[in-house]
Chain A
């Protein structure tokens, strides 16, 4: 009886078998990594805005307070987007005929809103509220990153559920005195842990069980 397979056949067979196995594992790893990639989380991308608005300029250089434009951040679920007239309070005086500001002037003139592209966005089945986070001493920077250093605005953190959970499971390290909430330069005191514990008590922060209950964010 003649040999059916050459000597090398076995090497091939093993190669294929191992290859398949590795490929399967690799596939899983790739998927795993992709789900956590900046690409998937739309992190650090600056969409094309009608006006190249610079937080860096307005916050760091001009020292405008967040609440000047995002006026409802303490009183409403939404931080609130500045109406055109808010922009024009200043820009009717400065840069009155700067090319980049044309859309703003046009918006006011034609009474048509400016369509900004949203950068920090959660799915519609997630009910995030700004007011409560501010009230409990969670700073802008916790979710929006160093927005005061962004010439063009981008999403600084991956808004994955895990990101929210990390904080809701152990809020203490993310808390700061309420008056420091808008301060991007705030440095935690040496004994941050103690401060965290104190604020947890002062602000009546709920227990992790309550904070991670599904109904807290989903309805």
Chain B
């Protein structure tokens, strides 16, 4: 069995001494008392699922029935309803289909009708539902930090309005977070005309503080044959993730060679895109422009050999695929690179094909209305009242702007938001906003379409919509939100039937509104490091993003795609630098830049450019809710207003060490991964191995049931985005267990995405492999159970009967894939009682001492089967979709009836790329994989 050796981290690559490791870990634990803080578990559960504000109504006994007084139209008890609406991500719409049960939203999925998203999800979209039930949401207006009523606030507003009417709103400033809501834009315009002196500033920490506009080039990779990406994480977190991933999926997997997409990625820090790229190049940010010039072919540049090779090939590829190629530049790259890509794409005739020049969708402040301008005006005492709406500048301001202090200089500070966050804490007034699922609004998805956001549940707290708050600035009488939103669409959607239709389909075509296209402000390119310095790259956290998801238990516990760490952000360091500084993953390091420092746990990240250190935003919250507060380090402190994404500085070990809650262990034996993740080439597409011919069993085979369920996962399509993991968690009531438990190896996720490396740690191959239960036909786990608690169904499901399980855990010991999870404590029912609000009523909530695992979403199978059975027919192909399959934006997962030769799974199983995990164990898995297609296969 020759072939490349796989490994997963540098410790393992260097095989650091295990014995000393043991001494460290084995013996302290003897003295350590149990450290599972139940209250922590509770807190975590509470934050993740608790639904506050439900109390007050009279207690309902377990065996009570609570019928309606008047049954709402079309509502069926025991059935679920679906509503097309949207959740927001960086102000962009993420069109979703909300599943409600008994009038409560319990799950979000991508809207399958939507032409761009086509049902695809992202982890953030899936997890947004948990924010709705976040018990730490602001529940009432606060004045000076003390509970007040809307009446008080409205009274005050009255006075202020009177004053502004006098001075045309002079001194009134509004600082608004990124938004694409046409209604909001309309309202802002109206406000400006009503109060000409008032000014509206944009606070968008992920685009820039100086009012930079996003790249005018709108990539549309669906048509691209060759993509050359300069630090553009197309497949990573972002408003476009789902749409890009969908396009990616369409252009990968089994298809004739021509259709396949070729991806070049030059990245300043490893990303999912880099992991999937055909040609990847790690490059320090300071050299990125040089590389860009090289590709643009402009003038003399000096490149390293590897850079040159990469640039040559990229250039050639772009040339050969004129009109079908795309040079794209990351949002974090300096603006001049954007202009370069514009030129190149125009030259190649790609514009209009794989990208177009589009006016920005979102709110763009007038010149001189940037956040920095606001700072200037405050300093100049020109601001008498500041309304911060849907933004958190106190936390998200760059380190070189002491915003808290500056903010304090404003006489009247009003904050409107979902949480009582850092900004709310030092405002005179805080007013609670609705969650998008609670009220009317609208927003535009990155592809330009608009979605009218309709409420799927009554507001749970005494909160108002952002539209009402904004309207109140100028209008004495504020109509209900629907009546604010509806007029925006009066022209386009006249009659109510059209309106109803728009709501049903969940999107509205909309002209790229030609507001003023902001002139790109040329932000300084990344500074070159001085001697002994390293370049510092600052990025949003892979799961917590800019910090707005800090109180979301699912996303906190979601392993970061590349690190597999949870519950905190790390400092990514290149393997060489690490060995140079004698740093190991988990060692605390101090990063120092412009006399500002942060301490964070190091993570030795294969593929990280040698002298580059990456910091991640979103943690170190001071008022982030019960679980978001006080974990990780705050990278905003290291940012500069002028250059938010890059700086230079030093990094050194502090000598301290922390326990990282990583879901993949560090050490690994040689050759262990042989054949677990496989790569084939288009020339040699067979992944099956000689020794894996299915040996016949000693026993007679059981009759194969109809249907025979099976799953195939296409590793060529999988981008490791984790949408499936979160979808599974929300579909199957999988509990959140907290950092301590994860650190002890007790995470509960039924579906995990394994990450493997191969090759040179400085420039490795990265592989993702989702691992659900394999539903083995000859399941070792079933043999082990003494009480028939895990058995086989005629349809080939490996059933887990929770209520029969006595917790011997033999099944897990015998499971070669270790996909089973055990309820070590009473994880779920410790959560406050209203947690049922989000739980899926069709899935049993597991108690303490019970084993659980992936069920192929048996509840969905049963629903479909029963429906078909009622209609006396067989279950149709595609009628059953597992949660992970439904969520996958890249269409990497297919599920269906193996007994039907025409079904998608049956076809894929016949593909030469099809192989089974640990086939030699003779377990005959029902879940199989399609090998990744690479430019060189294993062994080469």
Contact = CB atoms under 8 A, between A and B. Distances in A.
A188 interface: no
B829 to A, nearest CB: 12
A147 B802 CA distance: 33
A116 B78 contact: no
B77 A215 contact: no
Contact of A214 (B60, B65, B71, B793): B793
A38 interface: no
B869 A118 contact: no
B870 A215 contact: no
Interface in A177-216: 203-204, 206-207, 209-210, 213-216
A108 interface: yes
A76 B841 CA distance: 14
B855 A112 contact: no
B794 A123 contact: no
Contacts of A210: 705, 794-795
Contacts of A112: 69
A78 B77 contact: yes
Contacts of B61: 115, 117
B549 to A, nearest CB: 30
A204 B873 CA distance: 9
A219 interface: yes
Interface stretch (B33-41, B252-260, B858-866): B858-866
Interface string B837-861: 0000011110000000001001100
B64 interface: yes
B872 interface: yes
Interface in A107-132: 107-108, 111-118, 121, 123-125, 127, 129, 131-132
A81 B69 CA distance: 10
A97 B795 CA distance: 57
Given A75-B76, A118-B63, A84 B803 contact: no
A35 interface: no
A125 B803 contact: yes
Interface residues of B, number: 39
A76 B794 contact: no
A128 to B, nearest CB: 10
Contacts of B803: 123, 125, 218
Contacts of A86: 71
B66 A113 contact: yes
A75 B872 CA distance: 15
A129 B841 CA distance: 13
A83 interface: yes
A207 B64 CA distance: 35
A117 B66 CA distance: 9
A218 B801 contact: yes
Contacts of A219: 842-844, 855, 858-859, 862
B68 interface: yes
B404 interface: no
Interface in B789-833: 791, 793-795, 797, 799, 801-804
B77 A76 contact: yes
Interface string A50-79: 000000000000000000000010011110
A127 B71 contact: no
A125 B63 CA distance: 14
Contacts of B872: 203-204
Given A118-B63, A214-B793, A219-B855, A83 B799 contact: no
Contacts of B791: 214
A85 interface: yes
B166 interface: no
B45 to A, nearest CB: 19
Given A72-B79, A80-B77, 20 more contacts: A72-B76, A76-B78, A80-B76, A81-B77, A82-B67, A83-B69, A83-B71, A85-B70, A117-B61, A117-B65, A118-B64, A124-B844, A127-B842, A135-B869, A213-B794, A214-B788, A215-B858, A218-B801, A218-B844, A219-B842
Interface of B: 60-61, 63-71, 76-79, 705, 788, 791, 793-795, 797, 799, 801-804, 842-845, 855, 858-859, 862, 866, 869-870, 872
27 contacts: A72-B76, A72-B77, A76-B77, A76-B79, A78-B78, A80-B77, A80-B78, A82-B67, A83-B69, A84-B67, A85-B70, A107-B69, A113-B66, A114-B67, A118-B63, A118-B65, A127-B842, A132-B866, A132-B870, A210-B705, A213-B795, A213-B799, A215-B799, A218-B801, A218-B802, A219-B842, A219-B844
Interface of A: 72, 75-78, 80-86, 107-108, 111-118, 121, 123-125, 127, 129, 131-132, 135-136, 203-204, 206-207, 209-210, 213-216, 218-219
